[in-house]
Chains A and B, each alone.
Chain A
Amino acid sequence: MSVHLLVDFGSTYTKLTAVDLEEERIVGTSKAMTTVKTNVLDGFNNALEKLKNANPNMKEITAISACSSAAGGLKMVAIGLVEELTVEAAKRACLGAGALVNLVFSHHLSRKEIKQLKAAEIDIILLAGGTDGGNQECILHNAKKLADAKLNVPIIVAGNKDAQDEIEEIFTKSGDEFYIVDNVMPKLKQLNVKEAKEVIRQIFITKIIEAKGIKKAEEQTGEIIMPTPEAVLIAAELLAKGHEDVEGFGELMVIDIGGATTDVHTIGAGFPKRSEVIFKGLQEPFAKRTVEGDLGMRYSANALVSLVSPYEFKQYSSYEHDISAAAKKRHDNVDYLPESEEEREFDRALARICCDYSMSRHVGQVEVVYTPLGNMYYQTGKDLTDIRYVIGTGGVLINNEDAKEILREVNQKSNKKLELRPSDPEFLIDQKYILSAMGLLGQKYPKLAIKLMKENLE
């Protein structure tokens, strides 16, 4: 009698996953074009009809949970003081909450930067700077600049506690919508993004959904509870950690190659594994997400090929391509589907580059220090050499026979010795595209979500 329906309002497709709670199985999945411009419910109803037609015996739907990345997803700006410290902490809070970070600013905001802010499409601003008891002057300057700019965008203040009262006065006076939360870096190098992430989600639920015309969906689906990337991160964390007596997979990575971006999620501490390695820099989040805006198969195809020389491109493909023309074709026609083997190989090459480059940027690096006591190493970022599972998701990988071969690009490479990449992971593919749905389901039924992921990732 009870089917829990999980909905993902994506930028292109509205995807449904129906889970039978009693029989503990996935009944079916379906998708239809997202219809944000007219009525978002049209797309939802189309998908629902497909689902019902394909599964005529499906039981009654008793609950619906939804996430969304439609209408451009959640766009944020991260502002902090020092680039490697509070700026990075602010950025990680945004990414962890499932946002795209479109602009990043450090130190004192200038007029030019305020202009950039005004010109950009932004949903939320995250303002950080200074440890608790540390620098106040910079965050106060930036708060005043933002107040003067009259941006009409919600501002989350997550900086030096000592400056909170004054910032409260500044934004109360200017009439800006603002939220004061715990400092994202209360002590040097200590990361604390929990409250900031919660408030981002709250603003997303209450404001952003409405502004993007997705609110209407809630008439039928119940509250849209989080941005899609956050749902994926939650699913990954659940699968890694397990829940109560249900064991998890241990440290793992999820890589999602899309048309515009490549997302990498890793669950694991990533601490140095040897005593001669010393960790440097800001504390890493246990569940970490990075997003590469220039690595994508369609919208970002031009940017992607500009990263590699024609000579380097040959390492990713067995054909001689007219690289810039092939990339332009994909950029200009984002629905493009390859028809010939050569075109398919070009897509595979793009996917390999997405994997390889996103991995270089996500994983930690070591650097040798020659000391009188012998070689020591600095490690910045996570050591992911022992990651046990790498899970591929996103249309490109799911629909590709060679998905696992493409994913092999994440592995350790002889020419990238200092990168702490996975050494010998097992590869799994999210064949039914259920990860975000399982993140949603896991909010209420964590054990069932883990079970279904274990059964359906191949």
Chain B
Amino acid sequence: MKTIVIGVIGADVHAVGNKIIEHVLTEHGYNVVNIGVLSTQEDFINAAIETNAKAILVSSLYGHGEMDCKYLRENCEEAGLSKIKLYVGGNIVVGKQDFKEVEQRFKKMGFDRVYPPGTNIEDAITHLREDLGE
């Protein structure tokens, strides 16, 4: 069973989507380690190290995601998690911006998958299967 760390990054307390993600991923056979809301980069990284996670799914709904996610890839590298997949989704930037540009920015920051608002969690599962294997 593959382990996935999920959580809501930064000073963000939106818990509903987080619970839905946990539910759906568990149903699809993943071992979900949910670190919950108000999580720091360090929390994600420490959890991933101890649980030997294959991917980190970062949620952010309050618009400050871009700042909160800065250097997450670099910090993962520093902690020895060089192979880990990083996904991010939600309202991850301030205001209405062209998603294509947003996606490019986050990919440049080292994220493997970037999702706009309103994405079905099933899409992420398709990508997890592609990225991590069955």
Those of A50-86 within 8 Å (CB) of chain B: 81-82, 84-86
> Within the complex, what minimum Cβ distance (angstroms) separates B11 from chain A?
4
**Is A135's CB under 8 angstroms from B51's CB?**
yes
- B52 beta carbon closer than 8 Å to chain A: yes
The stretch among A229-237, A254-262, A351-359, A366-374 that forms the contact with chain B is: A366-374
Task: Name the B residues within 8 Å of A370 (CB-CB).
Answer: 11
Task: Name the B residues within 8 Å of A378 (CB-CB).
Answer: 38
**Is A185's CB under 8 angstroms from B50's CB?**
yes
> Within the complex, what minimum Cβ distance (angstroms) separates B58 from chain A?
16
**Is A133's CB under 8 angstroms from B12's CB?**
no
Q: Looking at the complex, which one of A185, A188, A369, A376 makes contact with B35 (CB distance below 8 Å)?
A: A188
Task: Name the A residues within 8 Å of B35 (CB-CB).
Answer: 188
> Within the complex, what minimum Cβ distance (angstroms) separates B59 from chain A?
15
- A136 beta carbon closer than 8 Å to chain B: yes
Those of A82-104 within 8 Å (CB) of chain B: 82, 84-86
**Is B11's CB under 8 angstroms from A134's CB?**
no
User: Nearest residue in B to A377 (C-beta to C-beta)?
Assistant: B38
**With A370-B11, A371-B12 given, is the CB distance from A188 to B38 under 8 Å?**
no
**Is A369's CB under 8 angstroms from B38's CB?**
yes
User: Nearest residue in A to B35 (C-beta to C-beta)?
Assistant: A188
**Is A135's CB under 8 angstroms from B52's CB?**
yes
Q: In whole angstroms, what is the CA distance A371 to B62 when docked?
A: 9
User: Could you tell me how many residues of chain A have their Cβ less than 8 Å away from some Cβ of chain B?
Assistant: 25
Task: Name the A residues within 8 Å of B51 (CB-CB).
Answer: 130-131, 133-135, 188
User: Nearest residue in A to B5 (C-beta to C-beta)?
Assistant: A188
Q: In whole angstroms, what is the CA distance A82 to B52 when docked?
A: 12
Q: In whole angstroms, what is the CA distance A86 to B52 when docked?
A: 13
**With A133-B3, A369-B38 given, is the CB distance from A86 to B11 under 8 Å?**
no
> Within the complex, what minimum Cβ distance (angstroms) separates A161 from chain B?
13
> Within the complex, what minimum Cβ distance (angstroms) separates B73 from chain A?
19
**Is B47's CB under 8 angstroms from A188's CB?**
yes
Interface centre among A86, A369, A371 (most CB of B within 10 A): A371
Cβ-closest 8 pairs across A and B:
A134-B51, A371-B11, A135-B52, A134-B52, A82-B46, A369-B11, A131-B51, A85-B50
Q: List 22 A-B contacts (CB under 8 A).
A: A130-B50, A131-B50, A131-B51, A133-B31, A133-B51, A133-B52, A134-B3, A134-B51, A134-B53, A135-B49, A135-B51, A187-B33, A188-B47, A278-B38, A280-B43, A369-B38, A371-B11, A371-B13, A372-B11, A372-B62, A372-B63, A373-B13
Name A residues whose Cβ lies closer than 8 Å to a Cβ of B.
81-82, 84-86, 129-131, 133-137, 185, 187-188, 278, 280, 369-373, 376, 378
Other than A130-B50, A133-B1, A133-B3, give 10 A-B pairs with Cβ distance below 8 A: A129-B50, A130-B51, A133-B31, A137-B52, A280-B43, A369-B11, A369-B38, A371-B11, A371-B62, A372-B63
